[in-house]
Amino acid sequence: MKKRNRIIQLAIPFILFGIVCCTNEKEHANDKNTEDKPSNNTAQPLKSIPAFNEDSAYQYIVNQLAFGPRVPNTEAHKNCGLYLNKFFQSQGGWVYVQNFAAQAFDGKTLSLRNFIVSYNVKAPKRIIIASHWDSRPFADQDTKDKGKAILGANDGASGVAIMMEIARAIHNNKDKPDVGIDLILFDGEDYGAPESFEGPNKSDTWCLGSQHWSKEKHRGDYTAYYGILLDMVGAPNAKFAMEGNSRLYAPSILKNVWAQAQDLGYGNYFIMENSPEIIDDHLYVNQVGKIPMIDIIHYDPSRGGYFGEYWHTHHDDITAIDKKTLNAVGETLLQVLYKEKL
């Protein structure tokens, strides 16, 4: 979510927690017959981690923008949804479309769709990668054409594009992750009330898709080991700090992802710095859905906030995207997924 003045004030210190192992390894029982069984010292072959193609991810952003602003209740939104559904099916995903209606801050009824794309559906241990696929219906932070919808290249399309490239990379790789993967595309994230709105003071006007899914999951018994939310993950020289709600609800997951990014040489993107709490889709997944989820979200230390100059303006177009940033995030996520064990 991207509302400048809706930072949660939690009465907790910003303390980094200790690293907790994110995998559960099965230990062999030491029974009395162990000595009679042949020892198996043969190391299991390492799985090959597919390469993340930054050019491919960039093109997926271009493809989304070609539909125009992906604002709910518009033809562009409808047609882009059809494109995404078809794409993930073509990459071997089991796609569940969660249709629902939600009321916007201005009283308008929105026809929304969450997409849940599952891989290795029988695996009991599941990891969520999520992003929102809608775009802002107005440019409330711009100096002109404030009432016109924005393209949302970074704010929405970048996270979806990384998920698309992850799906393509895994589908085309001979080795698959051990764990189950659920890619969730939340709708209605960016339809929150602008600061200038003078109507009734209504809470929770943002993140409509994640609110709905967290209350009514696509499967009644669904749960996941943890989740990773992507939000504004394509800007040039982006910085991803350790966000407050991520530290509160999923500290070990946060530390693990940042450590793997550091190991890959992406410490200039995944910075070891705390940043304030923010209301985003992960908050509802944590609080309502009861699944620990972290947020990889652009944070600009020089501006002291989560919002670049392009944010909620007409400058959030393809010029707000850098392939190197897409690659840093995508390669990190692929390594995280392939290193998880059942």
* Six-digit token string for 281: 């889709």
Where do runs of H (alpha helix) occur along 173-287?
A: 208-215, 244-249, 251-263, 281-287
Q: Nearest 5°: CA angle at 181, between 224 and 19?
A: 60
> What is d(CA 3, CA 268) in angstroms, rounded to the nearest whole number?
26
Handedness of CA 249, 253, 258, 259 (dihedral sign): positive
What is the model's pLDDT at position 43?
A: 56
Average pLDDT over residues 290-319: 93
Query: In order of start, what are the domains of the chain with their CATH numbers?
Result: 47-193+201-339 (3.40.630.10)
What is the model's pLDDT at position 3?
A: 53
> What is d(CA 64, CA 68) in angstroms, rounded to the nearest whole number?
8
SS3 112: strand
Strands across the sheet containing 126-132 = 94-103, 109-119, 180-186, 126-132, 226-231, 293-297
| Longest alpha-carbon distance in the chain | 79
196 pLDDT band, cuts 50/70/90, is confident
What is the model's pLDDT at position 258?
A: 98
Question: φ, ψ for residue 333 (rounded to 5)?
Answer: -65, -40
What is the model's pLDDT at position 1?
A: 53
SS3 155: helix
| 248-266 pLDDT, tens digit each | 999 999 999 999 999 999 9
Q: What is the pTM of this model?
A: 0.88
pLDDT at 10 over 60: no
302 pLDDT band, cuts 50/70/90, is confident
pLDDT at 42 over 60: no
| 268-277 pLDDT, tens digit each | 999 999 999 9
pLDDT at 211 over 50: yes
| 22-39 pLDDT, tens digit each | 344 333 333 333 334 344
> What is d(CA 172, CA 91) in angstroms, rounded to the nearest whole number?
8
